[in-house]
Chain A
C-alpha cells in the first residue's frame, strides 16, 4: 500500500517536473518558431518570398538588417496608417512596390507578429545535402534497380526502418468505380518523369501537405527512394489497367438462358415437374428478361449515358461549383454566346490557384499539374463527356441565351459531382420531348418577340403558352442540315 503511494507520488512529481522542463525548454524554441513559420505561410507567403526574389511585395530576406524591428511590427499591423501618417520609409516602400496595398493584420497579437519577424530573421536556405545516389535521375535506370523498386513499391520487401509499405494500397494501379483522391501510381510516374515535375526526394522527406504527412508515416532512406524512382520511370510508359466488374446483366442473361433450356427439356422429354404452369412461367419470365436486356442494349448503342471518364486532373465540380459556389459561367464563360461552352484554359485556373496551392482532398498534387502545364506550355487534355453526333447541330448560345435554360437541365446536378457523369442520354427523343414541353420565354428576350402575338390568339379566353415546337423547334432542319 505504502509502496504504491510512494510510487504514485513519484510519478506525479516526475510528470510535473517533466511538463515544467518541457515548458521551459521546448516550448519557447520549437513551439515559437513553428508558430512563426505557420503564421508566415498563412498570412505572408501569398505576397512575400524569403530569398527567392520579389513577388507582389518585396523579398523579406535580411529585413531586420534594413529596418528597425519596431518599424516592421507596426508596418505589419497597419501599413496604410503609417503611409497616411507620412512615415518616410513607409511611403518609400509603398512607392517602390507599385502602390500595392498590404492588408492590415490587426487581428494578430504582438507576440504573433514578433514570432513572424523571428522566423524571417532565423530563416536560412536549406543546406545542400550530400547524397550517395543521384536523387535527380529520371531516366536510364538499370534493370535490377527497376526490379528492386518494383518490390519496394508493392511492399514485398521491408524498408530499412523495418516497416512494410505497399504503395499500391493508396496509389492505385487500376481504374476504379469511385474516385480515389490519392494520385494513382501512373499519375505519380507521369509527374515524376516530367522535367518540371515532382522532385521525389524532397516530396518524400518533406511532405507538402497534412494529408500526405499523415499517410506517409514511415521513413525511407535515399537508396530506397532511388529504387522507387527507378520503378516510377519504368511505370511512366504504362496506362492504368481496367478494374474488374461483376457482369450483372450478363449473369442474368445466362441464368435465364439456362433456366429456359431446362424448362424446355423437362417439358418435352424428361417431364419431372408435373405442373406445366411452372414451365410456362419460367419461359415467360425468361423471354421477357431477355427481351428487356436486348431492348436496353439496343437503345444504348451509340449513346453514352452514365459515361464518367477519369480526367487528367481530378478536378471536382462538387468542390468548385458546389462547395465554393463559383458560377458555372465563370469558367465556362462562352456558354451564352458561342456554339460550344468554353473549356477553361490553365490561366483561368490560375486566377484563384496562384494563391490556393493546396486542395482539400488531393494536397497539392493535382494543383501542381496546372502549374506544370503552364511551365511546360502543354495544354491539359480534358476528356470530353457530353458529345452529340456530328450530324446534329447544337448551339449553347441558343439554349443558354435565348432559351434561358439552366446548365443543370441538360447536364444534371454537376455541382454535386466529383466526377462529371453524363446524366441524360442525349437521344433525339429526349431533345424532342424537351422542345415539346418547354415554354418559350418572352421576358427580356428579343429573339422570339415576333412570336409573342401568337400567345394572345386565344378563343376560349384561356392563356395558351407557346412551346418551342410551335416556333419550329422540332423541324428536322433545325438540327440536321
Chain B
C-alpha cells in the first residue's frame, strides 16, 4: 500500500520535473496565468500584421504634419547651410544651465568623433576604428561660423557626418552649439 503511494507521488514529481527547468538562453521559460500581462493592442516596436509594412510605429500619412513638429526648410547643401546660418536665430541665451546641458549632450553625441576638446581627436578616430579624420571644431572656419551654422550641421549632417536632427531635440542642439562656441572654442 505504502509502496504504491510512493510510486504515484514519485511519478507525479517526475512529470512535474520533466515539464520545467534547465533553460537555453534563447528560451523565455514558462508563464503562470498571464492575464493582462500581454498587451492586446500593438506596442510601439512590435510587428504589426494589420499595416502593410508590418511596422506598428509608422510614419505620418502623406501630406500631414505631426503635432508640434517644426518644419526645417534648409537642406543639406552649402547654400542651405549659408542660408540657415543667416536666418536661424538662437532662442537660448548663454548661461550656466545651457552650458551644463550643452556639455552633457556634447559628451553623448559629439565627443566620440570630435573629441572632448573639440579638436577632432575623438576616441573612435584615435583608436583607429573610424578611418576618416573628424573635423576639428576649433579651426578658423568653425571659429568664424555662428551658432546657427553649428545647429544646421547637427540637424542635417555634413559630408560624412550623418544627420543628427532626429536624435537630438532642437533645444539641446542649440545648447551644444552654445557649448562649442562659448566653451570649447574659447579654451
A: residues with CB less than 8 A from B are 42-43, 46-47, 56, 98-101, 103, 175, 177, 242-243, 245-250, 253-254, 257, 261, 264-265, 268-269, 290, 293-294, 296-297, 300-304, 306-310, 324-327, 329-330, 333, 337, 340, 343, 347-348, 350-352, 354-356, 377, 379, 381-382, 384, 389-391, 419, 421, 444
- Closest CB-CB distance, A328 to chain B, in whole Å? 9
**Contact indicator A302/B31 (Cβ below 8 Å):** yes
| Chain A residues whose C-beta falls within 8 Å of the C-beta of B31 in the assembled complex | 301-302
**Contact indicator B22/A351 (Cβ below 8 Å):** no
Whole-angstrom distance between the alpha carbons of A309 and B166 in the complex? 29
| Residue in B21, B37, B38 whose Cβ sees the most chain A Cβ within 10 Å | B21
Point out the residue from A247, A264, A307, A350 that lies within 8 Å of B21, measured CB to CB. Answer: A247
Whole-angstrom distance between the alpha carbons of A81 and B167 in the complex? 36
| Chain B residues whose C-beta falls within 8 Å of the C-beta of A42 in the assembled complex | 131
Name the residue on B nearest A342 (C-beta): B167
| Residue in B28, B54, B109, B123 whose Cβ sees the most chain A Cβ within 10 Å | B28
Name the residue on B nearest A480 (C-beta): B36
| Chain B residues whose C-beta falls within 8 Å of the C-beta of A43 in the assembled complex | 131
Whole-angstrom distance between the alpha carbons of A351 and B168 in the complex? 14
**Contact indicator A250/B132 (Cβ below 8 Å):** no
Given known contacts A302-B32, A330-B108, what 7 new A-B pairs fall within 8 Å (CB)? A100-B159, A290-B13, A301-B29, A301-B30, A307-B29, A324-B112, A351-B164
| Chain A residues whose C-beta falls within 8 Å of the C-beta of B129 in the assembled complex | 324, 356
**Contact indicator A248/B22 (Cβ below 8 Å):** yes
**Contact indicator A324/B30 (Cβ below 8 Å):** no
4 smallest CB-CB distances across A and B, nearest first, come from A389-B37, A249-B21, A351-B162, A301-B32
- Closest CB-CB distance, B176 to chain A, in whole Å? 13
**Contact indicator B44/A257 (Cβ below 8 Å):** no
**Contact indicator A390/B21 (Cβ below 8 Å):** no
Whole-angstrom distance between the alpha carbons of A307 and B25 in the complex? 5
**Contact indicator B45/A384 (Cβ below 8 Å):** yes
**Contact indicator A355/B130 (Cβ below 8 Å):** yes
Name the residue on B nearest A268 (C-beta): B2
**Contact indicator B167/A355 (Cβ below 8 Å):** no
A257-B10, A389-B36 known; A333 and B159 CB under 8 Å? no
| Chain A residues whose C-beta falls within 8 Å of the C-beta of B169 in the assembled complex | 337
7 interchain pairs, CB-CB under 8 A: A42-B131, A47-B160, A101-B135, A306-B25, A308-B25, A309-B26, A389-B36
- Closest CB-CB distance, B48 to chain A, in whole Å? 11
**Contact indicator A352/B168 (Cβ below 8 Å):** no
Name the residue on A nearest B34 (C-beta): A302
- Closest CB-CB distance, A63 to chain B, in whole Å? 20
Let me know if B4 is at the binding interface, CB within 8 A.
no
| Chain B residues whose C-beta falls within 8 Å of the C-beta of A356 in the assembled complex | 129-131
**Contact indicator B17/A243 (Cβ below 8 Å):** no
**Contact indicator B39/A175 (Cβ below 8 Å):** no
Point out the residue from A245, A337, A352 that lies within 8 Å of B22, measured CB to CB. Answer: A245
B: residues with CB less than 8 A from A are 2-3, 6-7, 10, 13-14, 16-18, 20-32, 34, 36-39, 44-45, 47, 53-55, 77-78, 100, 107-109, 112, 123-124, 127, 129-133, 135, 159-164, 166-169
Whole-angstrom distance between the alpha carbons of A329 and B164 in the complex? 13
A46-B132, A98-B78 known; A257 and B14 CB under 8 Å? yes
**Contact indicator B26/A247 (Cβ below 8 Å):** no
**Contact indicator A355/B132 (Cβ below 8 Å):** yes
Whole-angstrom distance between the alpha carbons of A84 and B148 in the complex? 26
**Contact indicator B10/A261 (Cβ below 8 Å):** yes
| Chain B residues whose C-beta falls within 8 Å of the C-beta of A377 in the assembled complex | 53
- Closest CB-CB distance, B141 to chain A, in whole Å? 8
**Contact indicator B130/A354 (Cβ below 8 Å):** no
**Contact indicator A381/B77 (Cβ below 8 Å):** no
**Contact indicator B14/A247 (Cβ below 8 Å):** no
A46-B160, A356-B129 known; A175 and B24 CB under 8 Å? yes
Whole-angstrom distance between the alpha carbons of A43 and B100 in the complex? 37
**Contact indicator A352/B39 (Cβ below 8 Å):** no
Name the residue on A nearest B168 (C-beta): A333
- Closest CB-CB distance, A440 to chain B, in whole Å? 20
A98-B77, A306-B25 known; A354 and B36 CB under 8 Å? no
A99-B78, A268-B2, A327-B108 known; A247 and B131 CB under 8 Å? no
- Closest CB-CB distance, A194 to chain B, in whole Å? 16
**Contact indicator A324/B123 (Cβ below 8 Å):** yes
- Closest CB-CB distance, B53 to chain A, in whole Å? 8
**Contact indicator B29/A304 (Cβ below 8 Å):** yes
- Closest CB-CB distance, B54 to chain A, in whole Å? 8
**Contact indicator B45/A175 (Cβ below 8 Å):** no
**Contact indicator B26/A351 (Cβ below 8 Å):** no
Whole-angstrom distance between the alpha carbons of A175 and B78 in the complex? 50
- Closest CB-CB distance, B67 to chain A, in whole Å? 15
**Contact indicator B36/A391 (Cβ below 8 Å):** yes
Whole-angstrom distance between the alpha carbons of A384 and B16 in the complex? 29
Whole-angstrom distance between the alpha carbons of A351 and B30 in the complex? 40
Point out the residue from B26, B123, B163 that lies within 8 Å of A310, measured CB to CB. Answer: B26
| Chain B residues whose C-beta falls within 8 Å of the C-beta of A343 in the assembled complex | 45
**Contact indicator A253/B108 (Cβ below 8 Å):** no
Whole-angstrom distance between the alpha carbons of A296 and B30 in the complex? 12
**Contact indicator B161/A293 (Cβ below 8 Å):** no
Whole-angstrom distance between the alpha carbons of A221 and B6 in the complex? 66
Whole-angstrom distance between the alpha carbons of A377 and B53 in the complex? 9
Whole-angstrom distance between the alpha carbons of A307 and B23 in the complex? 9
| Chain B residues whose C-beta falls within 8 Å of the C-beta of A333 in the assembled complex | 108-109, 167-168
A42-B131, A379-B55 known; A297 and B37 CB under 8 Å? no
Name the residue on B nearest A298 (C-beta): B32
Whole-angstrom distance between the alpha carbons of A386 and B25 in the complex? 14
Whole-angstrom distance between the alpha carbons of A441 and B56 in the complex? 36
Whole-angstrom distance between the alpha carbons of A47 and B111 in the complex? 22
- Closest CB-CB distance, B115 to chain A, in whole Å? 12
Whole-angstrom distance between the alpha carbons of A356 and B124 in the complex? 10
